[in-house]
Amino acid sequence: MTHVVRLENVSKSFGSSEAAAHPVLTDLDLDIAAGEYVAIMGRSGSGKSTLLNIIAGLLRPTTGLVEVCGQRLDGRSEEEAAKFRLAHVGFVFQAFHLLPRLTVWENVAVPLILRRGRGPGRGRGPGVEERARAELDRLGLAQVADRRPAGLSGGQQQRVAIARALVTDPPLLAADEPTGNLDASSTEEILQAFDEVRSRYHATILVVTHDEQVAARAESRRYVVDGRISATSPQSAGLAK
């Protein structure tokens, strides 16, 4: 079995000194197989978002091994981790993080432009707009490609964010509470989009969520309990509704 994510003895503490350090994750182990759709759950403050950020290379662990898509992430510099994310990880945030002055297709094109780099002949080269528009079309958003994000519904904005995360064809899609700011109708839009991602792209999907409706669409769940991973949800986990 090929693993897209492998964590061994991962710990993460926050604080300005060892004496003031606040441990969030402790000797955590996690394996996620290629193509798996996993919901990561846990009570508020359990460390599930911290875990996702470590997997995506947005945070470095305090100790432990982090391997994603066959490559070690722990110990990489911020610049090296950013380059890795552009090539391997699509990240969807709860708050969308779309750039208001750009059109929808320009927002989706941002990872392509960043990956090409800066300098003469780079950036908005041939194929960038076409690739961004094609991704929007696959998610049913072709009709809004030339609008600004402020003119879209919450569900549409989050689907634009998903298109942006997928435009580089990453093997891993990581989403942190992607429906947290949405109503029930928009939540269903996003769940359908993830179903489409799974069937069309065969990507590995990790979704951090409190929402049972969201978690029910995943094929498996992992619970963060006392800083470690559990396959079951004991009553002591105290999941927030």
Indicate whether 51 pLDDT > 90: yes
pLDDT confidence bin for 125, thresholds 50/70/90: low
Q: Distance between CA atoms of 174 and 171, rounded to whole angstroms?
A: 10
- The pLDDT assigned to 237 comes to 43
For 32, 84, 178, 179, 217, the CA distances from 187, given in Å and listed in that order, are 25, 29, 8, 5, 12
The lowest-confidence range among 12-16, 110-114, 186-190 is: 12-16
- The pLDDT assigned to 180 comes to 87
The lowest-confidence range among 16-30, 70-84, 203-217 is: 16-30
- The pLDDT assigned to 240 comes to 44
- The pLDDT assigned to 2 comes to 82
Average pLDDT, the chain: 87
- The pLDDT assigned to 1 comes to 57
Mind giving me the DSSP string for 123-175? SS-TTHHHHHHHHHHHTT-GGGTTS-GGGS-HHHHHHHHHHHHHTT--SEEEE
For 167-189, what is the mean pLDDT?
Answer: 90
Name residues whose C-beta falls within 8 Å of residue 159's C-beta, 6 or more positions apart in sequence: 139, 140, 141, 189, 190, 193
pLDDT confidence bin for 38, thresholds 50/70/90: very high
Tokens of 236: 């002591």
Helix, strand, or coil (residue 205): strand
Mind giving me the DSSP string for 79-112? HHHHHHHHHHEEEE-TT----TTS-HHHHHHHHH
**φ/ψ of residue 35, rounded to 5:** 85, 0
State CA 83 to chain mean position distance. 15
Max CA separation in the chain (angstroms): 58
